[in-house]
Amino acid sequence: MSNRRDFLKSMTFALGTATVLGGCSMAKASRSKPGFNMSGYCAPKIPTVRIGFIGLGMRGPGAVSRMTHIEGVEIAAICDKRKQCTDKVEKMLANSGFPKPAVYTGSEDAWKEMCQRDDLDLIYIATPWHMHTPMAVYAMEQGKHAASEVPVATTMEECWQLVETSEKTKKHCVILENCCYDFFEMLTLNMVRQGMFGEVIHGEGAYIHNLVGLNFNKNGYADMWRLNHNAKRNGNLYPTHGLGPVCQCMDINRGDKMEYLTSMASADFTMNAEATKRAETDDFYKPYIGKPYRGNMNTTLVKTNKGRTIMIQHDVSSPRPYSRIHLVSGTKAFAQKWPKTHIALGHSAVSDEKLQELYDTYSPEIVTKIGEMAKKVGGHGGMDFLMDWSMINSLRNGLPVDMDCYDAALWSCITPLSIESIANRSNSVKVPDFTRGNWKTNKPVALELKTINGVRGIKKADASGQLKVE
């Protein structure tokens, strides 16, 4: 009997340990029964999309400017707690000949008042990370579609809130992942769809960008919010730029799903040293000495249901050249961007002439028809404009959005899951299925343009300087 009791005790301990090391994976994987499936959902058409913008610091003003170049858009309201930011955008719109928007400022909760307006269709969120989910959820609850900069959520609870609120309200929750619209990423996606890669085996994505100077700049990000994240959370804090395009190539949430991940981080060799150095001449930085900074390099590995693998890297504190990596490897072809852009259809990369031929043949319609316009409007070479245009096109014409609440939750959940894995000696952690089984039948993101009037070219700019699609 004693041997049996000892055995049962050891098994109980082992199972408990496995649960801890694997994280709360069972709870995370089975949050609730499926609600209304938002993948492929066509919301009612909105001929003129009335937008309210929250956050006019680094990213917001560019988004407002890009929207002035898209037909069927009204800049109806703008919001930032700092009046100098709303004043700047007001002036920009006035100088371009656009009507004065409603302005909300001077209060931490001014954005809620804006979301309560009856004359808004879309809330565009460009605020610090920790505000993304509260704002997106509140906007949807107020009957608006929501679009948020990345990552959209910072915790597992927030990821589920996004999904469940979108399903309940039947309002889109769009993750504003601009890298999915970069010209090379869209080329590889269409080539995958056309069978040029055969079976996709492996993908890689990254955000490697030395931001030490910016993160420690006390006149940069308001309230030092980005540095504070790096000082408290050891994981992949910014996974979506590299991950989004790879997920689309693998039809994640739409034919395949993530099963589990494991994450590992180096020690911090930079940020505490930077805080210590700055504190020698500026007392402002003394509280930042000795913080548990995230490691310089985070590497997260994902296994999918179909046996594919994904590597995601994140490093914002090493003196390395900027890189998003974007790598797709299949049974018939290979593509890589950063540090050199090339495609291989065999053992060797194709020539520059052949690469251009592939661009001409396999770039999707959104690139061939409005790519040049996107380059003129700008936003990271045009991809920001393509992202905004595609979302507005979907809302105006009652089409599914390219990136929905399930993508917003899944791509964002890499952060809390990587933190959990690292805290448990890089043990694997189960990735929730936010679609709750619908990934098996959800259709891949459409690459064909389906519009009311079609897209043929660019009209000459009018008196306000606004470019319009004919």
Q: Give the model's pLDDT for residue 455.
A: 34
Q: Give the model's pLDDT for residue 434.
A: 98
- Mean pLDDT over residues 210-217, rounded? 96
Domain-located, residue 14: no
* Burial per residue of 149-184, b for 16 or more beta-carbon CB atoms within 10 angstroms, e otherwise: bbbbbbebebbbbbbbbbbebebbbbbbbbbbbbbb
More confident residue, 460 or 322: 322
Confidence class for position 265, pLDDT limits 50, 70, 90: very high
Residues 6+ apart with CB under 8 A from 139: 115, 123, 125, 145, 146, 171
Check whether 451 has a pLDDT greater than 90: no
For residues 73 and 92, give the distance between their C-alpha atoms in angstroms, rounded to a whole number.
Answer: 16
Q: What angle do CA 416, 418, 422 make, to 5 degrees?
A: 120
Only one residue has tokens 């937008």, namely 51
Q: Give the model's pLDDT for residue 33.
A: 82
User: In this structure, which long-range contacts are made by residues 277-286, counting pairs with CB atoms below 8 Å and at least 24 apart in sequence?
Assistant: 278/216, 284/218, 285/216
Please check whether residue 198 is in contact with residue 332, taking contact to mean a CB–CB distance below 8 angstroms. yes
Check whether 194 has a pLDDT greater than 60: yes
Shortest CA distance to 434 belongs to which of 153, 205, 44, 181? 153
Confidence class for position 30, pLDDT limits 50, 70, 90: low
pLDDT (tens digit, 9 = 90+) per residue, 404-447? 999 999 999 999 999 999 999 999 999 999 999 999 999 999 99
Work out the burial of residue 226: count CB atoms within 10 Å of its CB; fewer than 13 is exposed, 13-18 middle, 19 or more buried: buried
> Largest Cα–Cα distance in the chain?
90
Confidence class for position 8, pLDDT limits 50, 70, 90: very low
Q: Give the model's pLDDT for residue 221.
A: 78
pLDDT (tens digit, 9 = 90+) per residue, 139-177? 999 999 999 999 999 999 999 999 999 999 999 999 999
Check whether 21 has a pLDDT greater than 80: no
Confidence class for position 18, pLDDT limits 50, 70, 90: very low
Q: What are the Cα distances from residue 279, in Å, to 245, 255, 269?
A: 40, 52, 17
Q: How many of the other CB atoms lie within 10 Å of CB of 92?
A: 15
**Torsion-angle region of 380 (φ positive above 0: left; ψ -120 to 50: alpha; else: beta):** left
pLDDT (tens digit, 9 = 90+) per residue, 276-291? 999 999 999 999 999 9
For residues 64 and 122, give the distance between their C-alpha atoms in angstroms, rounded to a whole number.
Answer: 13
Side by side, the strands of the sheet bearing 200-208 are 342-344, 334-336, 327-330, 200-208, 309-315, 298-304, 258-265, 429-430
How many domains does the structure of the chain reveal?
Answer: 1
- Mean pLDDT over residues 127-138, rounded? 98
Mean pLDDT of the chain: 91
Domain that holds residue 231: 179-365+404-440
Check whether 31 has a pLDDT greater than 90: no
Q: What percent of the chain has pLDDT over 90?
A: 86
Domain-located, residue 36: no
Domain-located, residue 299: yes
Confidence class for position 448, pLDDT limits 50, 70, 90: confident
What CATH number does the domain containing 301 carry? 3.30.360.10
pLDDT (tens digit, 9 = 90+) per residue, 45-61? 999 999 999 999 999 99
Shortest CA distance to 359 belongs to which of 247, 205, 191, 232? 191
Domain-located, residue 427: yes
pLDDT (tens digit, 9 = 90+) per residue, 330-380? 999 999 999 899 999 999 999 999 999 999 999 999 999 999 999 999 999
More confident residue, 461 or 424: 424
Check whether 12 has a pLDDT greater than 70: no
Q: What percent of the chain has pLDDT over 70?
A: 89
- Mean pLDDT over residues 243-254, rounded? 98
Amino acid at 75: I
Q: Give the model's pLDDT for residue 200.
A: 98
